[in-house]
Chain A
Amino acid sequence: MRAMDRGTLVSRLREVVGASHVLTRPEDLVVYEQDAFLVAQASPDLVVLPDTAEEVASAVTLARAAALPIVARGAGTGLNGGSIPVAGGLMLVLTRMNRILEISPRDRLAVIEPGVVNVDLTAAAAPHGLFYAPDPGSQGVSTIGGNVGNNAGGPHCLAYGVTGNHVLEMEVALSSGEIVTVGSRAVDAPGYDLAGLLVGSEGTLGIITRITVRLLRRAEAVRTLLAVFDTIDAASRTVSDLIAAGIVPTAMEMIDGTVIRAVEAAIHAGYPEDAGAVLLIEVEGYADVLPRIMTRVHKIAERHRPRQLRAAEHAHERELLWKGRKEGVGALGRLAPAYYLHDGVVPRTRLPEVMRAVAEIARAHDLVIGNLFHAGDGNLHPTILFDPRRPGMLERVVRAGEEILKACVAAGGSITGEHGVGIEKRDYMRWLFSDADLEAMQTVKAAFDPQGLLNPGKLLPGPAPEAVSDGAAAAFSVRPRPGVWS
């Protein structure tokens, strides 16, 4: 059967979604050639902005008829290149599907479309005293569809878990063009856990068109403590001791000296500039109980000779402390024209040694690495600062990054905690998984997407997919672009 030609495809797509929601001109497409993985780009052949699940399914069916790859995209804040159409093809941008369809305070759940921005859901739930727990750093911009695709986390995952723990049910357009429901509104649906399978599948198994998520009740009270240490080691040991004592803070974030100085220059969050590391420890619970729990947190932290322990006195102070953490990566722009943000995981108990290894790798490659991360769940974000204009620099940065992730895996950890694999880390999957493991994943992939059209070249290792022969697809490239760094 001959594939549908481009002209027919475009006119059919226009019939489905309306002419203004099919983009084909290079100046329109260029917007979609990149995400927050700043070192690679590739242009789609055409972009479709559907409005309903039926439109998504029709677009998928048409793309299949034209034998075009299909790449879903949310807000484009992904850090692993997962939404870069490396083989060209049809991009489905889901930002128009941004309706909150239902908020049920009674059942503590919300039904939303994939293009809903993370923070908008929490805002809509707030009047009911509820919130949506996963809070990635990008939450002001990123979509929940993208969060689901990457199984996104955030600082408060320590207590509440990652996106997968909050998804109950999803409606999915399969590569066959069928629309199915996976999971159920009631927890732990019978049959195979296909909702769990779809979460974190990075757009390679289906296009998610509707999501039912849990909403949690806001805690009665929250206390935030800034603990200042002379060394990362002392801060790391405090983290281990708190967890060992059975205290589970809702967040436990570490910021090292390098990042502290950048943050203070940019934001003035109130971190002491000469500290080796600070910990942000947040505890939630009952108002009358929290002071007593905070006393215990103090006592444990004091064993590691903190230079200062300061509780936020009021909401404004708490917000400022968090602002430093949440905008920390951006603040690093003060120190270098570019950075490469990593995302490794280690067992919490191995934190001190892996942090020493990261420092050693930085020294060996003569690089500056800033660390700000989710210490409570051992999710590191070593951020390598560099100047891409210097010849040979990017290669060194990439090599150092690989060594860091290898050190995480060697310590019994993983290559990503919340940013996903995308194109960035697909080859590193072999460090974690045997050929047989990956083969099992490929078998499942084939069960959902026999033609391999859904987001090719992502997540699972393999040769780079061939660009579709349409001519409009730019070849995939990994190259720093002048301009994007400053």
Chain B
Amino acid sequence: MERADLVAELRAIVGDAHVLVDDADVIVYEQDGSILQAMPEIVVLPADTAEVAAVVRAAARAGVPVVPRGSGTGLAGGAVPAGGGVVVSLTRLNHVLDVSYRDRTAELQPGVINLDVTKGVAKAGFFYAPDPSSQAACSIGGNLANNSGGPHTLAYGVTTNHALGVEVVRYDGSIQWLGGTVPDAPGYDLCGVFVGSEGTLGIVTRAVVRLMRARESVRTLLAVFDRMDDATQAVVDITAAGIVPAALEMMDRTTIEAVERGSAVGLPRDAEAVLLVEAEGVREHTERAVRMAQEACVRAGARQVRAARDEQERAALWKGRKGAFGALGTLAPNYYVMDGVVPRSRLPETMRAVAEIGARYGVRVANVFHAGDGNLHPNILFDIRIPGELERVIAAGAEILKACVAVGGSLTGEHGIGLEKREYMEWLFTAADLEAMARVRLAFDPRRMFNPGKVFPTPAACGETTRWAPAKVPEGLWV
């Protein structure tokens, strides 16, 4: 099929206004939240499941890749169309289809914004637990694709723990439910396989997610440390004491500086690190957990521990934490956020390693992360306009992730692999392990048409030019 024929067919499916082909229009879709770029050739914005299915069928007939995209807040290049083809933007599928407080479930289209789910059910006393920092912008479909986490993952788990079933469009345009409304359904857990598959198995067009009941009480502590080592030790001690906070977040000195420059929420600028500890539950439990966490912080050497006195103060603390990534822009024009995981007990030594790597490469690193589950987010600050800087940053990032894997950790806690880390998968998995995944991929997507070149290491060449630098997809992919 000629490119023009495909465009005409897509227009017939979704309407002229929802097929974008001009550079000025598609450039919006060349990048996600990562530093990777590739210009899409065609962007389609279907309105419903049936249109998604028809788009997939058309793309299949044309033999071109399909790259699903939500809000484009992904941090690993998962939605960057490095292999060309059709970008399917799901932002118009943004309806909450059903909410059942009785069964504590919500049925959502993939383009629904994460925070809107909680906003919609909060009045009835419920919330949707996974809360990535991007939750005001990111979509549920993107969260499912990346198995997103967030500060409260510590207590409630990541997206997969909250997805009961998904409706998916498969390679042949067929529409199918995986999972359902019952937890722990018999048979193979295919919904679980889909969650975190980064758009490589099909397109999610509907999802049933759990809603959780809002907690009776919540308390938030800010603990201030003069040494990073003491702060990481406090994290180890808090969990060793048997406390499971709802969230346990850390920000280092560089991040504090950025946050205070950005929105001045009252963090002490001379501290080496602050911990944000949140406890939730029935009132009696919360009070006791907070008291124990406070004691653990003091014992570990906190110079100050204070509880948010009211909701306003609590909101300010969280505003600082959730806005931290954006605030890093006050320190440097670019940052590269890493997403490593280490066993909590290895946190102190890994943070020392991160500092050492930053020093060795001569790059500034800001740390803001989910300390409670050992999920690091070292942000390497840089200026992409300085020649050679990007290469240095990437090398430093790779070394940080290697250090995580070396202590029994992992390459990603919640951001996914995407384009960014596909070559690193070999640090975690053997060729046979990856081959087993590849077989599952082929079972769902025999033509490898969905989001090719993501997640799995590929022989060099394909996409190599688009990997770290803006570049147009080569002509000729249409033949």
Contacts and interface: CB of A to CB of B under 8 A. Distances in A.
B186 A286 contact: no
Contacts of A178: 432, 435-436
A436 B343 contact: no
A443 interface: yes
B352 to A, nearest CB: 17
Interface string A292-312: 110010000000000000000
23 contacts: A107-B344, A174-B436, A178-B435, A181-B429, A181-B430, A191-B196, A191-B437, A191-B455, A191-B456, A193-B189, A196-B189, A196-B193, A220-B242, A286-B285, A286-B288, A347-B103, A414-B185, A415-B186, A432-B186, A434-B177, A443-B444, A448-B439, A459-B186
Interface residues of B, number: 72
A335 interface: no
B348 to A, nearest CB: 12
Given A184-B410, A293-B284, A347-B103, A433 B440 contact: no
Interface centre among A187, A220, A349, A434 (most CB of B within 10 A): A187
A181 B158 CA distance: 22
Contacts of A181: 429-430, 433
Nearest to B344: A107
Nearest to A418: B184
Contacts of B345: 106-107
Nearest to A172: B436
Interface in B28-42: none
B455 A421 contact: no
Nearest to B373: A187
Given A200-B189, A285-B285, A189 B408 contact: no
Given A189-B410, A192-B201, 6 more contacts: A107-B345, A179-B432, A186-B342, A190-B410, A286-B288, A437-B178
A197 B193 contact: yes
Given A187-B373, A247-B282, A432-B185, A193 B192 contact: yes
Interface string B167-209: 0000000101110111011111110110111000100000000
State which size class the interface on A falls in: 35 or more
B188 to A, nearest CB: 5
A30 interface: no
B315 interface: no
Contact of A429 (B187, B429, B434, B439): B187
Interface of A: 106-107, 151, 153, 162, 164-165, 174, 178-182, 184-194, 196-197, 199-201, 205, 217, 219-220, 244, 246-247, 285-286, 288-289, 292-293, 296, 345, 347, 349, 412-418, 420-421, 425, 429, 432-434, 436-438, 440-441, 443-448, 459-460
Contacts, number: 191
Contact of B147 (A151, A188, A347, A459): A188
B224 interface: no
A416 to B, nearest CB: 5
A191 B429 contact: yes
A292 B409 CA distance: 40
Interface stretch (B91-99, B109-117, B413-421, B470-478): B413-421
A425 B185 CA distance: 13
B8 interface: no
Given A191-B417, A220-B242, A286-B285, A345 B182 contact: yes
A179 B432 CA distance: 8
B192 A196 contact: yes
B269 interface: no
A435 B374 CA distance: 42
A425 to B, nearest CB: 7
